[in-house]
Amino acid sequence: MMSDHSTTSSFGSVIRKRSLSRRTLLRGMGTAIGLPLLDAMVPSMTATAATPAAAENLRRVGYIYVPMGYNPKEWTPQGETLENLPSSLSPLEAVKEQVTVISGMDLQNAYPGSHATSNAAFLSAAQAKLTESSDYSLGITVDQIAAKHFGHQTQLPSLELSMDLLSTVGQCDNGYACVYQNNLSWSSDNTPLPSEAHPRIVFESMFGEGGTPEQRQSALQKRASLLDSVTTEIKRLQGRLGASDRNKVDQYLESIREVERRIEHAERTAKDNPLPDLDRPVGVPVAFADHARLMFDLQLLAFQGDITRIVTFQLAREASTRTYPEIGVPEPHHPVTHHGGNPEKLAKVAKINQFHVQLFAEFLEKMGATPEGDGTLLDHSLYMYGSGMGDPDAHNHHDLPILVAGGAAGRMQGGRHMLFEGEEPLANLHLTLLNKVGVPMESFADSTGALEL
């Protein structure tokens, strides 16, 4: 009979043989595909296996921006719980235990009050230099502070996404250069990071097959799927994994295939759209919601495959004239927000708010349905959703609409409405969330201290 010591040693050697690096990639022609967190990446007999500690080191954080404020009557919960969600937040019902609604945040450095400064200050809490030229200046944004701290651990330090073409230059809003309105993320005072709205380009930045449009088209004609070039690698990997891990890999790769199919379908049907949205890149889904869902799914794949741990997403642009006839708002968004107290216009603002929240809620539900470690992808991530403008009719930056979602690997508790009285700097929330994802900071911009969340 084998001794206990021999049994342990023998089993340990098997575990070491099966253990995979978190950075394991499947490589093919022009392709490198990351993998979801697998049991084989954390030896199952160690103290860290399948515990919160195994996933908390991922430290994922995302920021979603929505423009032009909100209708507070249909947004703000009554009391300190989310038992009865107001209409604009009603799509969050299924995930509300993972959501905190935060009222009372102020963005003083966004004044004197404009669309450009609302966008620019949201993640920087900094005052934009008033200029129409290229001597613009702002401040580093919180996502890039996180990227400098742990972005080097992944294929992409951060991912900057949007929904609209950002081709405007010069002066866009009350003497402010368009760069402030176009860019949510800044890596330094004078370095805005352009965002990408085209799903194909984002997909290829994550999985390969980049290059010029001609090179990408040629590559598309040569293959049925990006995954075809890694078939041998997939088979080799699957032979090393247990049943649970094989299922995780199969589901992840099928998700990649499905996103790729939807991108290709959008590109094929783009020619048939007689009335393209001038803000919408060619080759993206015709419907706003379909485009947004695709961009959200790309974020999910990026987090699940550990391609990046930091995402910013401009769900719609400030001063956007996009219409939403699919929800009963055929008028352009921006004029509707100048409501002047008109109940009809306020109701339409609330409908747009609800529509945007619905898309976010669908994404949260998908994250919550994606197993990882001892919980889900949502349990191990942290998202902040909101606007840099409060009342759009007044262009003020008081009492902003803010949501925080996700468990942050046990560091966040949801199901709450937190109301801060007075003028609580949004920078305090940024500081708090940075600390919760493992970026130790004592101050940020005009912060006065961390919040008790």
pLDDT in tens, 236-269: 777 778 888 888 788 778 878 888 888 887 777 6
Q: Locate tokens 């080799």: which residue?
A: 236
Residue 395 has pLDDT above 80, yes or no: yes
Q: What is the pLDDT of residue 155?
A: 87
Residue 311, Cβ density class (10 Å: 0-12 exposed, 13-18 middle, ≥19 buried): buried
User: Is residue 144 one of the residues assigned to a domain?
Assistant: yes
SS3 sequence, 197-245? CCHHHHHHHHHECCCCHHHHHHHHHHCCCHHHHHHHHHHHHHCCCCHHH
For residue 82, give every residue at least 6 positions away whose Cβ sits within 8 Å of its Cβ, in sequence order, or none.
89, 92, 96, 99, 101, 415, 416, 417
User: Is residue 451 one of the residues assigned to a domain?
Assistant: no
User: Is residue 231 one of the residues assigned to a domain?
Assistant: yes
In the chain, how many domains are there? 1
Higher pLDDT, 280 or 407: 407
Q: What is the pLDDT of residue 10?
A: 30
Note the Cα 295 to chain centre separation in Å.
9
User: Is residue 92 one of the residues assigned to a domain?
Assistant: yes
Residue 303, Cβ density class (10 Å: 0-12 exposed, 13-18 middle, ≥19 buried): buried
User: Is residue 21 one of the residues assigned to a domain?
Assistant: no
User: Is residue 99 one of the residues assigned to a domain?
Assistant: yes
Give the domain range for residue 195: 26-47+54-436
pLDDT in tens, 92-120: 999 999 999 999 999 999 998 899 999 99
pLDDT in tens, 430-443: 999 999 999 999 99
Q: CB 105: neighbour CB atoms within 10 A? A: 25
Q: Do residues 211 and 222 make contact, with C-beta atoms less than 8 angstroms apart?
A: no
What residues pair up with 404 in beta bridges, in sequence order? 100, 384
State the pLDDT confidence band at 408, using cuts at 50, 70 and 90: confident
What residues pair up with 101 in beta bridges, in sequence order? 403, 417
Q: What is the pLDDT of residue 7?
A: 33
Q: Check residue 329 and report its DSSP letter.
A: B
State the pLDDT confidence band at 447, using cuts at 50, 70 and 90: very high
User: Is residue 6 one of the residues assigned to a domain?
Assistant: no
User: Is residue 450 one of the residues assigned to a domain?
Assistant: no
